[in-house]
Chain A
């Protein structure tokens, strides 16, 4: 009689359904696709017939252990052992089972043949109604949720006979099922190349379900690698990927196992992220209290800082960093995270600095224990700020970054002052320097005073000194105001100003004379010079403010 193989149940399918999913695979799992036509009870039949579609059921006793070797010599679909305790099979037996692709599975004594036969017929019925996959998925999920999170990848590797890798969304290895492989550079290079291939699909993957995607890649050395990729997505947020490099052709049950493992890992990642978010919230609360003087005593502050691993017993320096992002398509929080990482890698101090995002800016608090000379401290912190800016400019060439530095105080309780000073330096620095500026609070000069005056006072002053010049510029389409501004910027040097403006020095002299006429001020008079200079500063504030 011809056997209809399509309707037959494989050993893997049999072990994918509850309660048989709890059976322990002792060896020969490479034969998991062997199909079962009949289950033969070797405990009853004295002269059984051996067939490659028959699954054999045997109660283990010390006497019949040798019988296993005999069965393995025949061509059979698989062997189920049952008994009080798990049999200790020799390596020779296990190797033989692997070579002949005969799975050996152990069940505790309470599993009867009737159980297995019932499951077999159940699977057949489920397959007829196309509901087997759903049933198997539930059973697999139930099983793997009971496994310890640190052993989950290892458990899956045993069933799949292929390594499983957990990577983050930047394809950096987080965890691996095999501890020896994927530690060296060559193996990590495979992940890197997969990452480069998948990079472009990243946004497309975001809107997909966390299913298995079978893919292949031709590596730079010409080898072709098949792999399975499961994007770990929850509420449109991509946490990472689960990758399995195929050793053999994966069955549907294998893919189900990878998908469900991905689901369990995803839950763990979501949980971890939530914890990180809570931790971040507490950290931001601490930084708020530190920077806004919201604490009872210095001792309490130091104690709280110790919980976060910071030593506030020593004096600290504070730098505030703000990226000027015009392009709204850039993910601002991601940029801030990257900047923090680069700063963390760049600062090498004996004591840990405090680096955190706070109100859309990055606060860097660095312990300074070396010296107590304020001038030297200022020089050191500015040197460090320039070093950081240089590194950040290399990483983000298109990004404009500004830094504000507060004054140095000996006590951590004064960090609230240093923070406000750094904020002022950051905000006012743009009126003094060009792009990517580093401004120390002590270098703000007259801007500190101008910043506190109200609109009308500044307008009046500006109009009084520069009103005529602006009017003249508008009427005659000249640029007297920018000439005056450049003259002050070049410290009154006629030749350099003319060079910067691409005009002859005599033309510049004519313009300056005209400015003197219009404003009725003498540029050689120190006081007039100062007033015009301040009016030019106000003009800059006005123009920046309107932008």
Chain B
């Protein structure tokens, strides 16, 4: 099987510092536009976590399927790369992506998205967001190798049918604890 790089997001460690967002902006010279975003998770009671999301570099990327100008390609490391040369900003990829990852860059009117810092990867470096993550909540993993069972494939936030097989794994957050009083006793 070919390599499939992806992100491991440890929701127990992420403190929502936005360090990954800024590192990404800085690396790609994006200005106000951003590839990576932090989402606050409060789906259930006693759950308080942050989710750092960018392109999931899916195993079956729908963006490749729909792009009329074939701007998307998936390289042998499993990274989905967007080449904006022929992009006319038709936004079909935005509609097809279940995570709505590709975004229109207002400066160029073309779609752009995270490319896993492919230039850094080719130099043997980690993506900028991973390097910048101080609590080590973001990590690069290879999904073609066996992974521990506690790496979860999905979150309630994700689409029900994961046809695209996103290359991302999660370590789920712990339930929040109240340190100053014992709830059970009450």
A451, B163: Cβ atoms closer than 8 Å: yes
| Interface positions of B from 60 to 103, Cβ below 8 Å from A | 60-62, 64-66, 70, 72-76, 96, 98
For B156, list chain A residues within 8 Å (CB).
455-456
Give Cα A117–Cα B98 distance, bound, in whole angstroms: 86
Q: Does B158 contact A (CB under 8 A)?
A: yes
Measured CA separation A413–B75 after assembly (Å)? 15
Q: Is the CB of A452 within 8 A of B2?
A: no
The complex places the Cα of A423 from the Cα of B62 at a distance, in Å, of 10
In the assembled complex, B183 has its CB within 8 A of some CB on chain A: no
Assess A451 versus B161: contact at CB under 8 Å? Given A294-B73, A294-B76, A416-B65.
yes
Interface of B is mostly: loop
For the complex, what is the distance from the CA of A423 to the CA of B156, rounded to whole Å?
A: 23
- A285 CB contact (under 8 Å) in B59, B61, B70, B76: B76
Contacts of A137 in B (CB 8 A): none
User: Given the complex of chains A and B, what is the CA–CA distance between A284 and B157 in angstroms?
Assistant: 34
CA separation between A453 and B163, bound complex, in Å? 11
User: Quick check: is B135 within 8 A (CB to CB) of the other chain?
Assistant: no
Choose one: A289, A420, A456, A545; the contact of B65 (CB below 8 Å).
Answer: A420
Q: Are B64 and A284 in contact (CB under 8 A)?
A: no
Q: Indicate if B1 sits at the interface (CB-CB under 8 A).
A: yes
| Closest-CB distance, B5 to chain A (whole angstroms) | 14
A302 within 8 A of B: no
Is A313 on the interface with B (CB-CB < 8 A)? no
Contact A453 B70 (CB under 8 A): no
**Chain A CB within 8 A of B180 CB:** no
Q: Chain A's nearest CB lies how many Å from the CB of B177?
A: 27
A523 within 8 A of B: no
Choose from A292, A360, A424, A454 the contact partner of B160 (Cβ within 8 Å).
A454
Task: Report if A359-B59 is in contact (Cβ < 8 Å); known contacts: A288-B2, A293-B70, A417-B65.
Answer: yes
A260 within 8 A of B: no
A259 interfacial by beta-carbon distance below 8 Å: no
A293 and B74 contact, CB distance less than 8 A? yes
Q: How far is the CA of A509 from the CA of B66 in the complex (A)?
A: 45
Please encode chain B, from 1 to 20, with 1 for each CB lying within 8 Å of some chain A CB and 0 for all others: 11000000000000000000
Say yes or no: A453 contacts B159, CB within 8 Å: yes
Contact at B160–A541, with CB atoms within 8 Å?
yes
Shortest CB-to-CB span from B76 to chain A, Å, is 6
Nearest-neighbor residue (CB-CB) of A420 within chain B: B65
Instruction: Select which of A284, A292, A454 is within 8 A of B98 by beta carbon.
Output: A454
Q: How far is the CA of A428 from the CA of B75 in the complex (A)?
A: 26
Q: Considering the chains assembled together, what is the distance between the CA atoms of A452 and B164 in angstroms? A: 10
Inter-chain contacts of A116 with B (CB < 8 A): none
Contact across chains for A452 and B98 when beta carbons are under 8 A apart: yes
Whether the pair A293, B163 counts as a contact (CB closer than 8 A) is no
Determine the chain A residues whose CB is within 8 A of the CB of B2 once the complex forms: 284-285, 288, 359
Neighbour of A454 across the interface among B65, B72, B74, B158, CB < 8 A: B158
A421 to B61, CA, bound (A): 11
A421 to B157, CA, bound (A): 25
* Residue of B59, B62, B64 contacting most chain A CB atoms (<10 Å): B64
Tell me whether A453 and B160 are in contact in the complex, defined as CB-CB below 8 angstroms, given that A284-B2, A288-B2, A292-B73 are known contacts.
yes
B62 (CB) vs chain A CBs: closest residue: A420
Chain B, Cβ-Cβ closest to A281? B2
- A459 vs B157: C-alpha distance when bound (angstroms): 12
Q: What residues on A are CB-neighbors of B70 within 8 Å?
A: 293, 413, 416
Which B residues are CB-close (under 8 A) to A413?
70
Tell me which of B62, B64, B158, B161 contacts A292 (CB under 8 A): B64
- Residue of A with least CB distance to B159: A454
Chain B CB within 8 A of A40 CB: no
Confirm or deny: A427 has a beta carbon within 8 angstroms of a beta carbon on chain B: yes
**A173 to B75, alpha carbons, bound, how many Å?**
41
Query: Would you give the shortest CB distance from B160 to chain A, in whole angstroms?
Result: 5
Alpha-carbon separation in the docked complex, A417 to B66 (Å): 7
In the docked arrangement, what's the CA distance between A459 and B161, Å? 12
Chain B hits for A453, CB < 8 A: 159-160
Which of chain B's residues have a CB closer than 8 A to the CB of A541?
160-161
Q: How far is the CB of A255 from chain B (nearest CB, A)?
A: 43
6 contacts between A and B (CB under 8 A): A292-B64, A293-B74, A416-B64, A424-B163, A427-B161, A451-B163
Give 14 A-B pairs besides A417-B64, A427-B161 with Cβ atoms closer than 8 angstroms.
A284-B2, A288-B76, A292-B74, A293-B64, A416-B70, A420-B64, A423-B60, A428-B163, A451-B161, A451-B163, A453-B160, A454-B159, A454-B160, A455-B158
